[in-house]
Structure 1
Amino acid sequence: MQDVLIRPFRASDAPWLVMQHGLLYARDEGFDETFAPLVHSILTDFVAWHDPTRERGWIAERAGERLGSIFCVALDDKTAKLRLFLLMPQARGLGLGKRMLGTCMAFARSAGFTEMRLWTHESHEAACRLYRASGWHLLNSKHVHSFGVNLVEQSWKIQL
């Protein structure tokens, strides 16, 4: 994975990211058609309103092929939120997720945040193992019905 570039997100990446979230979450999690519009809304707001000194997105890319994404956005003055962490199936299990998470967390620290939070689902076992191994702590879990399926939502945090 040394040949993978982790580059800044560009607005032109948004359609690809919305499509991949919709396709992969439908295939792997059974999510319905309400999920991709949520991703679209998140990205539309990011493109229009993000503060580039404190908020960033990245795309992992190899030879022009996009392999994943990760975003850091502000929750408040001291807390950042990790969002839209996605790895394409062909890029999983190769250490790229760890690299991307490290990039995002290092940026959050350099931007002055003292804590990060994230929201995920219990079914994302590999991501949850990565969070735990990187020092994140599970805050809570709850059963929900979202995007047409029953899920266990999780909230995580880390002190930076």
Structure 2
Amino acid sequence: MDAPVIREFRAGDAPWLVERHQTLYARDEGFDDSFGPLVAAILDAFIAGHDPACERGWIAEAGDRRLGSIFCVRLDDRTAKLRLFLLEPEARGQGLGKRLLATCMGFARGAGYGGMQLWTHESHRAACALYRATGWELTESKPVTSFGVQLVEQSWRISL
């Protein structure tokens, strides 16, 4: 595999990103078919109206193979939201997630945000360990039923 690079998201990446979220979350978490349309709606809104000065998305790839994604979107004037952080299974454990997270947080800092927030699930242990290791703080954890399964939903934040 070629060395992975991180490039800006392009609208043509959206179908891949929706499919990979739907497929991987169904396989690994048991999510139902409502998850893909949610990812599609998030991407459609981003493509239609994001402000590139304060909102950005990135794709990790090696050669012609996409390996992951991460997005920084505006929550309010002082806070960015991390979204759509995904790594293909074969790309995990090699530092690529850390690089994507650093890219996203560096952009948020440069765009003038004072902090970031994210929403995830407790079952994403590697991602949660990465958040903790990079200074994120768990602010809320609660059991929910989402996408047809029982989950423990988590909210995290960090000051930049």
- Do they fold alike, i.e. is TM over 0.5? yes
SS at match of 1:143: strand
Deviation at 1:30, TM superposition (A): 0.1
Deviation at 1:3, TM superposition (A): 1.6
2:113 matched residue in structure 1: 113
Partners of 2:68 and 2:82 lie apart in 1 by 14
1:154 matched residue in structure 2: 154
Are residues 1:131 and 2:144 paired?
no
Partners of 1:22 and 1:30 lie apart in 2 by 10
SS at match of 1:59: strand
The answer as to whether partners of 2:2 and 2:63 remain within 8 angstroms in 1 is no
Partners of 1:64 and 1:158 lie apart in 2 by 33
Q: Deviations over 1:71-102 (max 9, x none)?
A: 00000000000000000001000000000000
- Which of structure 1's runs of 4+ aligned residues deviate more than 4 A? none
Deviation at 1:2, TM superposition (A): 8.2
2:86 matched residue in structure 1: 86
Q: Deviations over 1:109-136 (max 9, x none)?
A: 0000000000000000000000000000
Relative to the length of structure 2, the TM-score reads 0.99
SS at match of 1:157: strand
Q: How does 1:24-35 map to 2 (within 5 A)?
A: 24-35=24-35
Deviation at 1:69, TM superposition (A): 0.2
Relative to the length of structure 1, the TM-score reads 0.99
- Identity between Structure 1 and Structure 2 (%): 69
Deviation at 1:62, TM superposition (A): 0.3
2:57 matched residue in structure 1: 57
The answer as to whether partners of 2:67 and 2:87 remain within 8 angstroms in 1 is yes
Q: Deviations over 1:12-62 (max 9, x none)?
A: 000000000000000000000000000000000000010000000000000
CA RMSD of aligned residues (A): 1.0
Unaligned runs of 5+ in 1: none
Deviation at 1:152, TM superposition (A): 0.2
The answer as to whether partners of 2:2 and 2:62 remain within 8 angstroms in 1 is no
Are residues 1:143 and 2:143 paired?
yes
1:74 matched residue in structure 2: 74
Unaligned runs of 5+ in 2: none
